[in-house]
Copies of this chain bind each other. A is one copy, B any other.
């Protein structure tokens, strides 16, 4: 292991208040050993709805779930009274979203930015975070994604996973 790898930072654990499309809360700790794409969005953000949610659905269906997971995070930082968990539940049903989605925990001190969004230093929505099978945050992108480049990042992390931990796959 070289110094570059030594410097890698563990992705902050998710802080969530409610989950949909899963029987129990998802933690990054539970996903250790898999490559994870964390998808931060707001249900009334047009670019999230038109581009990132469909992309996340395709990610969820394109890779082996023993190696790879998509996790949605509803990071509401504006219009909190309208983008409630109840509204999110309707949104997820209408848009047929099937991957797990957690509600980022609101700031109990009244700040607009929820806790996980703040811990990751996200600038807005949509944001995609790539987490490797060892739990390190490897890349974080704000905005719409290029699928070829995103696919290549996933392929790189899947290859690392296989080559560094051959008994896992």
Interface, chain A (partner B; CB < 8 A)? 44-46, 49-50, 58-59, 62-63, 79, 81-84, 86-87, 90-91, 94-95, 146-160, 163
Contact = CB atoms under 8 A, between A and B. Distances in A.
A25 to B, nearest CB: 23
Q: Mostly helix, strand, loop or mixed at chain A's interface?
A: helix
Nearest to A50: B50
Contacts of A149: 62, 151
The residue in A63, A83, A152, A160 that gathers the most chain B C-beta atoms within 10 A of its C-beta is A152
A90 B79 CA distance: 7
30 contacts: A44-B87, A44-B91, A46-B95, A49-B49, A49-B50, A50-B50, A58-B146, A58-B148, A59-B148, A62-B146, A62-B149, A81-B86, A82-B86, A82-B90, A147-B147, A147-B148, A148-B150, A149-B151, A151-B151, A151-B152, A151-B153, A151-B155, A152-B152, A152-B154, A153-B155, A155-B155, A155-B156, A155-B158, A156-B156, A159-B163
Contacts of A62: 146, 148-149, 152
Contact of A45 (B94, B154, B159): B94
A149 B151 CA distance: 6
A55 B159 CA distance: 23
